[in-house]
Amino acid sequence: MSENIEVGSVIKGKVTGIQPYGAFVALNESTQGLVHISEITHGFVKDINDHLKVGDEVNVKVLSVDEAAGKIGLSIRATEEPPAEVAKPAKTAPKQKKRPAAVQAEAETPQGFNTLKEKLEEWIEQSDREDLIKK
């Protein structure tokens, strides 16, 4: 299957088929591999058809060769320089989380859950009064 195909090598191939999950690329007359959708280009790919079509000639890097299963994993994006806007930003200190609104309100005013607590006590007292019970 892949006597001369080695992991890490860059080969020119031709797109022979497109599926929602990736594109099949013929490396020679008897060998083809799959470029997974995540390996098409840098950044998010919603629809492969926006980037490739059957018959396109592409450079691919061999990511994996599974002789037993007869599968070759390929990448187009590994042959391209990542654009500046997709490059990962340097790590920064984590941002402080905002306190939930209920906690902020409780700190600013004596209301909040205390009002509910007071009302609950009032409702319990009312439920014990027989003159309020309808018969």
Digit-coded pLDDT (tens) for 67-115: 888 889 999 999 988 887 644 556 666 666 666 665 555 555 555 556 7
Continuous segment of H or E residues that includes residue 126: helix 113-128
Q: Residue ranges of the domains in the chain?
A: 10-79, 101-129
What is d(CA 78, CA 69) in angstroms, rounded to the nearest whole number? 23
Class at the top of the CATH hierarchy for domain 10-79: mainly beta
* pLDDT beyond 80 at 45: yes
What is d(CA 37, CA 76) in angstroms, rounded to the nearest whole number? 10
CB 78 within 8 A of CB 39: yes
Least confident of 20-24, 35-39, 108-112, 118-122: 108-112
Digit-coded pLDDT (tens) for 59-69: 999 999 988 88
Residue-level pLDDT at 59: 92
Number of CB atoms found within 10 A of residue 22's CB? 21
